[in-house]
Chains A and B, each alone.
Chain A
Amino acid sequence: MKPARKSIVLIGLGAVISLAIPLFLKNEYLLRVATIALLYVLLASSLNIINGYSGQFNIGHAGFYCIGAYTSAILAKKFGLSFWVLLPIGGFAAATSSFLLGIPTLRLKGIYFAMTTLGFSEIVRLTVLNWQSLTRGPMGIPGIPSPELLGMQFRSNAHFYYLILGINALMLFLTSRVLGSRIGRAWSAIREDEAAAQAMGIEVFRFKLLNLAYGAFWAGIAGCFYASFASFISPDSFTLDEGFSMLAMVLLGGQGTLLGPILGATFLTILSETFRTIAQYRLIIYGVAILLTIHLRPQGIAGSVFLRQIETARESFQVSFTKESEVDVSYS
């Protein structure tokens, strides 16, 4: 099967299964788990846009998620704005905050940038925790109204399930469009080789910033959804652990593929729900899962598809193993 046709079949299959789930899953608890799994699909996918496509190592994604959630919760409570207005506002609030993070730090590379995202995530959480006049601090914000569409209130788990499914579909649709454009190619080029990208005239800093903002935007949307879905938010929901979970999902599923984070998020959400009785060991389970992935399948679950393509491609060539000759001492 051709790759294009294969992906159409895959998308169709995924759509049918995910649309049918509420019809078969009558258990409210399981439906809630499915909704949470989709929430994490959104979060992991948005993180993957940053880590997997432009290669910036962001481990503080929970910060953007938090900003989206608190922005929409506060605006909903104070001004009674509708969910549909708040959704983009939450996204743009997170994207704006990404500029504050990115402008001073995106010139840093690798682990140095990673450390600042970690710090950013904690600063956001501590601000929310201590700015009591605005956020009620550790008491959190209760009674966040649920969305309303054409006079119908979103109340049941099935409603929220279809809502987050729709958001995910929109995200995947738009993101695949961006990735298939000059912008997505510039992001990948930066991930592959920053100097070569510059040599092709790509304004590396500008495109890194755009990439971070685009990823943060969808995390903000996820935050907005979470606020109205849970109807209560507190700083506890946006700890570093939350960011680590998203990272684990991306690594496990396969970075730099659209399918990877979907599989990773679904798998890890179900795994951690199954072992809910030993929830305090959740991060240990995640750690073991990551170690196993890195050891057995460094390219992640979805990456295996990728690998098979590489192997078939390899067979069709007679790979000449010419060793790079060591010549000229360059001073650079």
Chain B
Amino acid sequence: MFPILETRDLCRHFGGLRALENVSMQIWEREICGIIGPNGAGKTTLFNVITGFLRATRGDVFFQKRSITNLPPERIARLGVIRTFQNIRIFKHMTVLDNVKVGFHTQTSTRLWDALAHTAVFRRDEDKVTEESFRILKEVGLAQEANNLAMNLPYGMQRKLEIARALAANPLVLLLDEPAAGMNPKETEDLVSFIRQLNGWGLTIVVIEHDMKLIMNVCHRIIVLNHGKKICEGTPKEVQKDQQVVEAYLGRSSDLT
């Protein structure tokens, strides 16, 4: 068996700052993997390098055994590595339905001529996209908001919409960057069961999160970053006991005395 997503000695430096330093990790098919670490550990940078939004200083990223290092973000998305953003980045002035429809971009092929003449290609694309979009909106419980502007949704629903849009893009690996940020406990609980449900459908999920309850609850495996380096990896139980992890979060006991 080979990992669906892998990084090898991945480095990203910003001048003298080593945001990522020789990070090697494997994500296995159908797992839920958590990435945790204190603020500034390099978690989001890791996502940005994997998805092509930042160039790697050194090292490689492999997806299904194929190198995707430094490919443009749209190429990586097309392959099936889909991400969400830490600060919600939905299309605010578009309707909820159109937000999800944009997700189908890579699975449709309408060209200018098809749109102008409403050719068979256009009709097939639109029928498919509309139907599938509603299916996804129903799954995440946003069907009733379909024709409202995305900016008018409450915060928790906006997070859901961003995930819905990501699902529309036909992901093989879904990278969630702090999906529970700003959610209340009830919304977080819903999110946990939703992530499990997605995983149950066969989706591989990588999630960055600060909410330890969520992470320990939902993840099969956890990778811990600190100062750009991987300091620990294992099941939630193993990670919780790890001395280095405890120190990274709470400081060394000698610091306190």
Contacts and interface: CB of A to CB of B under 8 A. Distances in A.
Interface in B16-56: 17, 19, 39-40, 42-45, 48, 51, 53-54
Interface residues of B, number: 67
Interface of A: 174, 177-178, 180-186, 188-189, 192-193, 195-204, 210, 214, 256, 309-310, 313-314, 316-325, 327-332
B149 interface: yes
B149 to A, nearest CB: 6
B56 to A, nearest CB: 13
Interface stretch (B3-11, B101-109, B243-251): B101-109
B98 interface: yes
B57 to A, nearest CB: 12
Nearest to A188: B94
A322 B115 contact: no
Q: Would you list the 10 A-B pairs with minimal beta carbon distance, nearest first?
A: A181-B115, A330-B44, A201-B77, A201-B106, A192-B91, A322-B155, A196-B89, A198-B73, A320-B154, A329-B40
Interface string B79-116: 00011011111111110001001111110101110111
A184 B152 CA distance: 22
A324 B39 contact: no
Contacts of B60: none
B169 interface: yes
Nearest to A315: B152
B102 A197 contact: yes
B59 interface: no
A332 B54 contact: yes
B196 interface: no
The CB with the most chain B CB atoms within 10 A, among A177, A214, A314, A322, is that of A322
B103 A200 contact: yes
B53 A332 contact: yes
B122 interface: yes
B129 A196 contact: no
Given A184-B115, A188-B94, A321-B155, 12 more contacts: A178-B116, A183-B115, A198-B77, A200-B106, A314-B152, A316-B148, A318-B154, A322-B155, A324-B87, A324-B88, A327-B178, A328-B44
Given A178-B116, A327-B178, A322 B110 contact: no
B8 to A, nearest CB: 21
The CB with the most chain A CB atoms within 10 A, among B43, B74, B101, B104, is that of B74
Nearest to A174: B116
Interface string B116-132: 10100010011001000
B17 to A, nearest CB: 7
Contacts of B110: 181-183
Given A183-B110, A192-B91, A200 B39 contact: no
Contacts of A324: 87-88, 155, 181-182
The CB with the most chain B CB atoms within 10 A, among A184, A198, A204, is that of A198
A324 B154 CA distance: 12
A318 to B, nearest CB: 7
Contact of A319 (B48, B152, B181, B210): B152
B184 interface: yes
B115 A256 contact: no
A193 B44 contact: no
Interface in B202-249: 208, 210
A329 B54 CA distance: 15
A148 to B, nearest CB: 27
A174 B110 CA distance: 15
B125 A182 contact: yes
A173 B254 CA distance: 73
A181 B98 CA distance: 10
A328 B39 contact: yes
Nearest to A3: B147
B128 to A, nearest CB: 11
Contacts of A202: 74, 102, 105
